[in-house]
Amino acid sequence: MNDHDILERDLGPTSLSLLVRVRGGEEQAWTKLVHLYGPLVYAWCRRWGLSPPDAADVGQEVFCAVWSSLDGFRRERPGDSFRAWLRVVARNKTNDFWRRQCQQEQSAGGSRAWQYLEASCEPPDEAEISRETTQLYRRAVELLTTDFEPATVAAFWRTVVEGQPAREAAQSLGLSLNAVYIAKSRVLARLREELAGL
């Protein structure tokens, strides 16, 4: 099998963006969305003081809310993003959890829930946003590995993720330099397409 054969097999029907497919009710797209954002929602919930089981439960509430109100997500302003919208949904569901806890603790005089409720309103800092973005890209690449031939994924991974020079990646993979550039371009294009609107 030559470079052309490997890369030609990667060409499939052009997919719509993940968000459009989720809105269209495509089950596989929903699974991908949850795979991408589930760990992030869980991490937010843990950061806002929830125990691991409570974070998992609230995460389910978050995705139920996302499913029922996804049509409400709009990108009307320059800074709008799906992740920011999802964070608001997660924060609201976490706040609902803490409100329930406050009501239960009120008779005992507890204020721990109120402290967590206030803490969850703090906006993320730049370092947190950068970590979240990196995590999302890694998970997105994991999802796309089944859409491409292993040699294509390896060429992309070595050059983009690991930062290996294209010439070295081509030599170690037994591909031409051009095939490495094409692989990198195709995977990046698919990532942009899948994550459009997110």
pLDDT at 176: 92
Confidence of residue 54 (pLDDT cuts 50, 70, 90): very high
Q: What is the pLDDT of residues 89-116, one digit of tens each?
A: 999 999 999 888 877 655 544 555 555 5
How far is the C-alpha of 71 from the C-alpha of 69, rounded, in Å? 5
Q: Which residues contact residue 73 at a Cβ distance below 8 angstroms, ignoring those fewer than 6 apart? A: 19, 82, 85
What are the structural domain ranges in the chain?
Answer: 3-194
Question: Cα separation of 84 and 52, whole Å?
Answer: 22
pTM: 0.65
| pLDDT tens, residue by residue, 15-49 | 458 888 888 888 988 998 898 899 999 999 998 88
What is the rounded distance in angstroms from the CA atom of residue 122 to the CA atom of residue 83? 16
The rounded distance, in Å, linking the Cα atoms of 78 and 80 is: 6
* Amino acid making up residue 85: W
